[in-house]
Structure 1
Amino acid sequence: MPDLSEATPPSRYDRFRAIMEAAASASTASYMSHPRFWNLPLPELRAFELYGVPMMRGGDGHLPAAKPSSCCHGGCDEHSAAASPGNGDDAGLIKGLRGQYPFDGTQFPPLPWGGKRVGEADIAFIAQWITDGCPGSEEDKHHVGAAQASALTRALVTGDAPHALFTGPTNQLAEDSGGVRARKNVTYLSDEELRRLRAAIAQMKSLDAYPQDERSFAYWARIHANQCQHGWEQFLTWHRAYLYGFEKQLQDIDPTVTLPYWDWAADSENVKASLADMGKVANDNGCVPLAYRCWIDEDGLRKLTDGGKVSAEVLAGLRGTIGKNFNSGARLFAAAHISYGAAPESDAAIKSVLADINPLWDWKRWPGGNADLIFEAYPTPDDVERILNIESFFDFASGSRGNQFFGALETVHNLIHNFSGGKNPFSDTVKGEQPFGDMQDPGTTAFDPIFWGHHSNCDRLWAEWQRRNPSGGPDDPGDVLPPWNFTVADTASISRLGYEYMMAANMFVTNSAVPIQRFQSAAAPVHPKVVADHSHAEIRLHAVQYVTRPGFHIRAFLNTPGATVETPTRGNPNYVGLVSMFTGVCVGGPGHCDVPEPRTARFDLRPRPHKTPGNFRIDATEAVKRLRAQGATSFSVNLVVLNTDGTPAADALKIDGVSLNFFDRFSITRQ
């Protein structure tokens, strides 16, 4: 990175290359035979395409050339004249730096390959430079952008400007910093996280025509039909292994994707309200999270119109539903005044488009049932708490090999299968329709994507039970869980399997090349139900680097943008806590104390390097509670770095990012 103290800042072009060089670090990755494509001559860089993806093109599809300079006296070359500048945020390079499609793991990994993440402030700077036409040093020498960027970087590291909320997948930073991926509450996934999940599911479904291809969605759904374990002690262990394998398949497509959990107990009031709203409707009267619902949009209508199989009358009915979402396809058809079964080709076309719009939706899902039964049996959070208080593993989960029975959690699990599958409202009137939803039949249940959210929640509750009962578990830890070579013992720890459960998180990415004296995040809104229902909040500092200097301290505050070393801590409701970093001199040769590069050797069994960056976790529960009592609904994170004598430390803290994380009372944070 350029020296922040420079009196004359570099051009934006120079700064762009410096940012990319710092991020690439020691990587030897090749980009179509170019080890550092950003160092290509500027005319070649402007036209560079990486495997067909234009790196420097904007949203209008034109190459953003430099804006016209004064060429009245000649001397202009072909690259001085401007094409229409596009939106730099849509350039392939920017998508790659942010880990967006196609650089989200579906086709390529994020940029730079084998390097370090670029901070969001630097990405925004590069995007603006691309929008302005990628001007060179001479073309840009009077532009204030580089000076402004240097000033912004300086303001970020001194805490005088806020770090923006990271809109990408938080799992990307968590894994890069040596943490585990989070399975979040599906209701609180960010738009980008939900988009990535849907894209990965859609890619798996695209291979369903090949029944033996383990990359397909149907392949994994059939495993449940052939091997599922119910009614005895392997119920939870087998399904944990099952979810792990399916999730790993998703991560082969996008490494940031995890299986979110459907907290059906937290939805109990919504379910009862839905039953009341539906009046005397006997079936298909319940509700599921928005992520799993269906809707039609303008693109979908366009596809149906172009397909020619749907009448103008039906299209008009569908148009009337735009902007609404539905808990089942049957309810969407009813709202659009479509007589299901009257025009099978039209019905099939509509269902196909709905599945394209939301791959997490399933036509064969009609949530609900007899209202009296649901009011009687649908689980509430208090019911779940009572189940978690059961001390016997077999009474909690399911019976032993020699004494098999359905335990308390599996019994509730069964009810949710029946509720979410429901009864088909067309089974008595349309020939060939199955009577009940996919979720009601073990042979078809995993074909409904909501299955994975349901079982992720069951796994979450088991993880919480394990935290409360660390010595409890099945009788036979050496048993194999077919069709894999996993044993029961292999499923004992979710952290060893690489994940944790989390309600929601706000992430702020930093520039790890520059030390932070004070950190200020933007004030980021938190969903009202997360604020109301969480039981634990935590600030995390990601990938804190080892620096060759005396030790130092980090104070954490919430909603205190002006925090300094002088800000009081005693009696301050915004104060969170303090952590200390134990550092010192470097006893090795040059480079010994640098941040170690990731090891890639297949059989490298050495322990991790001593200077590997570490992570801090600071309990923010009480501070959030105090601020919530004052009416806070948005939260900023503020850090102050101090020497051991209490003076400001300007050269101590280098980190990849900061996050504020929320957990509900059944979410595990340690195991």
Structure 2
Amino acid sequence: MAGPGVSRRRMLGWMAAAGAAGVTGASVVGTRLATAVPAAEVVTRQEIRTLTPDQRTRFFNAVKTLHDNNAANNQYNRFVLTHYNFRSQGHGVAAFLPWHRKFLRLFEAALQRIDPTVVLPYWDWTLDSQRPERSEVLSSAYFGGNGTGSNRCVTNGAFAGWQVRYPNLHCLQRQYSGGSTIGSWYSPGMIENVLNTNRQSYDQFRRAIEGSPHASVHVNIGGDMSQMYSPNDPLDWVNHAFVDLLWAEWQARNPNLANTYNGGGAASSNILAPFGVTVASTLDTRALGYTYPRWSGSSRPA
């Protein structure tokens, strides 16, 4: 069932958009993304509130540099278009988690070509679950808050005044589900329950996490986050990094299932479009060059 603060109709509508036909933006598919090269060392992705001010500024600046002009073919916009044009390959299907893991790693690699010190952070939104609009992550010191005016433009934070290209040229938009408030999300205890009660198969867990826990963050923030063009909003990256962390945590708790996949074939032969890599190549985060802190319902940023 739908989670706290988001109607089942809105949540299912967001997921159904993954299978919608046609491209309402440019018809050119932006698939030529940065190639993730083997890391010299395995880094640890941190909760964004644990970054130093310098680390946070470097991360924001690298994202801005990737989006350094409003040309349709800038590298940031190619990520946005890839997410949209391959929405049916990465949403509502078994590949949801490995597809986004590869997508995130490619984005992180693109940022590291700009600033090698940058490591993609995650946003543990369970810590903000009961009053999301009060989150420091949605303050002017981080990503900014609700959109304002008739166009719901984001006017504060690191990405104030951003113009995004798809599906048409517009300001970065957010429209909170409660007007000035955001409907509640899954709490730490609720996510613990998801982790602990979906241990029969990978796809059981994938289905349990992709729906309301993941989708409610998208639809309750609203605006660009509620569309399949959600990477227009830089919040999407830190949101999905946390979803990736939860998969990694589930893998760590279920080592017998860590390398399993239910996608109509073996992980070694399932190819993730448009990346041209197997699902199997995404199953070990350390092989991709990163890891996460262990997580539990009692975890808190240091």
TM-score, with structure 1 as normaliser: 0.33
Please state if 1:501 is matched with 2:292: yes
Partner of residue 17, structure 2: none
Task: Select 2:283's aligned residue among 486, 492, 506.
Answer: 492
Structure 1 Cα separation of the partners of residues 227 and 86 of structure 2: 14
Task: Select 2:97's aligned residue among 236, 239, 245.
Answer: 236
1:301-320 deviation per Cα after TM superposition (whole angstroms, max 9, x unaligned) = xxxxxxxxxxxxxxxxxxxx
Alpha carbons of structure 1 residues 418 and 329: separation in structure 2 relative to 1, 3 Å: closer
1:404-454 deviation per Cα after TM superposition (whole angstroms, max 9, x unaligned) = xxx110011111111122xxxxxxxxxxxxxxx011111x21110000011
Task: Select 1:385's aligned residue among 184, 192, 205.
Answer: 192
Maintained 8 Å contact 1:196/1:254: yes
Partner of residue 260, structure 1: 121
Structure 1 Cα separation of the partners of residues 112 and 182 of structure 2: 39
Maintained 8 Å contact 1:328/1:366: yes
Partner of residue 182, structure 1: 44
Task: Select 1:408's aligned residue among 183, 187, 208.
Answer: 208
Partner of residue 438, structure 1: 224
Maintained 8 Å contact 2:176/2:182: no
- 2:99 is matched by which residue type in structure 1? W
Structure 1 Cα separation of the partners of residues 292 and 181 of structure 2: 33
Maintained 8 Å contact 2:177/2:220: yes
Partner of residue 222, structure 1: 81
Partner of residue 239, structure 2: 454
Deviation at 1:268, TM superposition (A): 1.5
Partner of residue 26, structure 2: none
Deviation at 1:371, TM superposition (A): 10
1:6-405 to structure 2, matched below 5 A, reads 179-211=41-73, 213=74, 216-228=75-87, 229-271=90-132, 286-290=133-137, 292-294=138-140, 327-330=145-148, 340=149, 351=155, 355=159, 363-369=172-178, 374-375=183-184, 378-389=185-196, 390-391=198-199, 392-397=201-206
Deviation at 1:470, TM superposition (A): 1.8
SS in 1 for 2:125: coil
SS in 2 for 1:496: helix
Partner of residue 637, structure 1: none
SS in 2 for 1:395: helix
Structure 1, unmatched stretches of 5+, are 1-174, 272-285, 296-324, 331-339, 398-406, 422-436, 504-531, 536-661, 664-671
Maintained 8 Å contact 2:140/2:156: no
Structure 2, unmatched stretches of 5+, are 1-38, 164-170
Alpha carbons of structure 1 residues 204 and 380: separation in structure 2 relative to 1, 3 Å: same
Maintained 8 Å contact 2:202/2:261: yes
Maintained 8 Å contact 1:207/1:217: no
Partner of residue 540, structure 1: none
Partner of residue 252, structure 2: 467
Alpha carbons of structure 1 residues 419 and 219: separation in structure 2 relative to 1, 3 Å: same
1:126-182 deviation per Cα after TM superposition (whole angstroms, max 9, x unaligned) = xxxxxxxxxxxxxxxxxxxxxxxxxxxxxxxxxxxxxxxxxxxxxxxxx7xx64112
1:514-593 to structure 2, matched below 5 A, reads 534=299
Partner of residue 55, structure 1: none
Normalized per residue, which structure has more helix? 2
Deviation at 1:499, TM superposition (A): 0.6
RMSD: 3.4
1:99-135 deviation per Cα after TM superposition (whole angstroms, max 9, x unaligned) = xxxxxxxxxxxxxxxxxxxxxxxxxxxxxxxxxxxxx
Maintained 8 Å contact 1:293/1:328: no
Deviation at 1:533, TM superposition (A): 5.1
Maintained 8 Å contact 2:182/2:220: no
Deviation at 1:219, TM superposition (A): 1.1
Deviation at 1:363, TM superposition (A): 3.6
Alpha carbons of structure 1 residues 481 and 208: separation in structure 2 relative to 1, 3 Å: farther
Higher relative contact order (Cα pairs below 8 Å, separated by 6+ residues):
2
- 2:291 is matched by which residue type in structure 1? E
- 1:408 is matched by which residue type in structure 2? A
1:240-283 deviation per Cα after TM superposition (whole angstroms, max 9, x unaligned) = 11111111111110112122111111112333xxxxxxxxxxxx
1:544-592 deviation per Cα after TM superposition (whole angstroms, max 9, x unaligned) = xxxxxxxxxxxxxxxxxxxxxxxxxxxxxxxxxxxxxxxxxxxxxxxxx
Normalized per residue, which structure has more strand? 1
Percent identity of the aligned residues? Answer: 30
- 1:181 is matched by which residue type in structure 2? V
- 2:284 is matched by which residue type in structure 1? S
- 1:496 is matched by which residue type in structure 2? A
Alpha carbons of structure 1 residues 450 and 357: separation in structure 2 relative to 1, 3 Å: same
Structure 2 Cα separation of the partners of residues 268 and 352 of structure 1: 22
- 1:388 is matched by which residue type in structure 2? L
Structure 2 Cα separation of the partners of residues 370 and 219 of structure 1: 31
Maintained 8 Å contact 2:66/2:76: yes
Structure 2 Cα separation of the partners of residues 248 and 230 of structure 1: 22
Task: Select 2:218's aligned residue among 395, 417, 425.
Answer: 417
Alpha carbons of structure 1 residues 294 and 371: separation in structure 2 relative to 1, 3 Å: closer
1:306-337 deviation per Cα after TM superposition (whole angstroms, max 9, x unaligned) = xxxxxxxxxxxxxxxxxxx962242xxxxxxx
Maintained 8 Å contact 1:327/1:367: no
Count of residues in correspondence between the two structures: 244
Maintained 8 Å contact 1:294/1:329: no
Maintained 8 Å contact 1:288/1:367: no
Structure 2 Cα separation of the partners of residues 241 and 294 of structure 1: 30
TM-score, with structure 2 as normaliser: 0.71
